[in-house]
Amino acid sequence: MNDELLLRYSRQILLPQLDIWGQEKLIQARVLIVGAGGLGCPAAMYLAAAGVGHLTIADDDTVELSNLQRQIAHHTEDIGRPKAESTAATLSALNPNVKVEALCRRLEGEALAAQVAGADLVLDCSDNFATRFAVNRACVQAGRPLVSGAAIRFEGQVAVFDPRQPDSPCYHCLYPDQGELEERCSRNGVIAPVTGIVGSVQALEAIKVLAGIGRPLTGRLLILDGLQMSWHCVNLPRNPSCPTCGASS
């Protein structure tokens, strides 16, 4: 690390839990972020600011006016621009030391599997169940930790699924695959700060897993009620009969 990087990350390096060795781990890390919306924007910005060395942003959507209320990596002049490109530009301006790759397409099948296998950790910041289940399957198959987030109305949730740990559940253990549900902010609405809170927690959990510090939310579900400003954390046992990560899968 040169003097410029030491100064840029100095407030993190001062933390005894992280120190220089932890910062080096972040600099060497590769993270895939699926979704550049309300969750992906703050998560990606905090990971870039923290110095995660390589970020891949995957999103097949373009910026719309209604996105700007909560998707803070995009600006008015980005309307009509691919979200992955807009986010990549914001991240590069925030921290030019981070390599950012924009994938302006939906990751599916072999392409999804290859991107997950090439990452050290995956953030699911998508807004639909089909993508969440697909990303979860790819992470289980590749043995990559997954930081999952969701936000709707005034509510949010975050969990970490780490197939490297034998007792860790996967996303499919938490939710049965029952097809697409009508729970999206485009239909139900969402208050902007909740997406920022959830995306920020996802970034923090990713940093903890990458640096090997603290106690990540592996096997736990953190739930936010923004109207009451209350947090609940519940344990998530692994389902031995899970079609994705169970013994028979």
Predicted confidence at residue 196, as pLDDT, reads 98
91-105 exposure pattern, b = at least 16 Cβ within 10 A, e = fewer: bbebbeebebebbbe
Q: How far apart are CA 124 and CA 81, in angstroms?
A: 22
Q: 127-169: per-residue pLDDT in tens?
A: 899 999 999 999 999 999 999 999 999 999 999 999 999 999 9
Predicted confidence at residue 175, as pLDDT, reads 85
Name the packing angle between helices 40-50 and 192-211 (round to 10°): 40
Predicted confidence at residue 178, as pLDDT, reads 57
Predicted confidence at residue 185, as pLDDT, reads 54
CB-facing half-sphere around the CA of 105: CA atoms within 13 A? 6
Predicted confidence at residue 219, as pLDDT, reads 94
Q: How far apart are CA 88 and CA 24, in angstroms?
A: 22
Q: Residue 166 corresponds to which tokens in the numbers above?
A: 């034998």
Handedness of CA 98, 44, 200, 219 (dihedral sign): negative
pTM score: 0.95
Predicted confidence at residue 182, as pLDDT, reads 47
Predicted confidence at residue 249, as pLDDT, reads 55
Domains and CATH numbers, the chain: 3-235 (3.40.50.720)
Burial class (CB in 10 A: 0-12, 13-18, 19+), 122: buried
Answer for the pair 168, 238: CB distance below 8 angstroms, yes or no.
Answer: yes
Handedness of CA 47, 49, 52, 58 (dihedral sign): positive
Q: How would you write the pLDDT of the chain (249 residues) with one tens digit per residue?
A: 899 999 999 999 999 999 999 999 999 999 999 999 999 999 999 999 999 999 999 999 999 999 999 999 999 999 999 999 999 999 999 999 999 999 999 999 999 999 999 999 999 999 899 999 999 999 999 999 999 999 999 999 999 999 999 999 999 998 876 555 545 555 778 999 999 999 999 999 999 999 999 999 999 999 999 999 999 999 999 999 999 998 655
- In this structure, how many other beta carbons lie within 10 angstroms of the beta carbon of residue 54? 17
Catalytic residues: 185
Answer for the pair 49, 199: CB distance below 8 angstroms, yes or no.
Answer: no
Q: How far apart are CA 82 and CA 104, in angstroms?
A: 6
